[in-house]
Chain A
């Protein structure tokens, strides 16, 4: 079941530059997408989300873009900081059986080099 894919397991970026993390999905029923950040020994921490009726959402240094026709979303971090180094998961959800469940991608490990 590969409904949500993150094809890059790792990414290294210089401090101050842009980090771009990508995510693809297959199920057109997904209507809400989220990015979570995870540090070792901690749970996923919510970062930013986007509804399927939008194509962009921005929050400070973080911007999420959604291309519904391509079933693709991306997370841009500008400028990248060493504290951004973590594993980033995209998640897709739809409202089924009276609740939202998340389908997660496999994660991308971001390393921001000082």
Chain B
């Protein structure tokens, strides 16, 4: 069964460093998303991406964040200068056309020290 793949599973970084979280969505899907979950809190929407551009972003998704689909398979989330409060699980999701169901990856745990 096709699945969304995220790498790495755990990323440790120093405050102020740049990180890139990677996702390989399901191959025929056209809508891509990033969500995050701070420990003990709810899953929060960050950004949606369709047709090579951002379609919607939350207030969390400030200028420190960017997304890119550098080739036909990868979808990345970059945090330019990490802060302690960026520590969270980051989930990538993708969705095909015709059915409003997003499929999630296993997540990347980002730890900012």
Interface residues of A (CB under 8 A from B): 32, 34, 36, 41-46, 49, 89, 93, 96-107
| Contact status of A96 and B100, CB under 8 A, knowing A101-B33, A105-B42 | no
Interface residues of B (CB under 8 A from A): 4, 6, 31, 33, 35, 41-45, 48, 50, 55-56, 91, 93, 95, 100-107
- Complex: how many Å from CA A103 to CA B43? 8
Is chain B's binding surface mostly helix, strand, loop or mixed? strand
Query: Which residues on the A side are within 8 Å of B107 (C-beta)?
Result: 41-43
| Contact status of A98 and B101, CB under 8 A, knowing A42-B106, A43-B107 | no
Query: Which residues on the A side are within 8 Å of B102 (C-beta)?
Result: 46, 100, 102
Query: Which residues on the B side are within 8 Å of A98 (C-beta)?
Result: 50, 55-56
- Is B42 in contact with A107, judged by CB distance below 8 angstroms? yes
- Is A102 in contact with B45, judged by CB distance below 8 angstroms? yes
- Is A46 in contact with B106, judged by CB distance below 8 angstroms? no
- Is B45 in contact with A101, judged by CB distance below 8 angstroms? yes
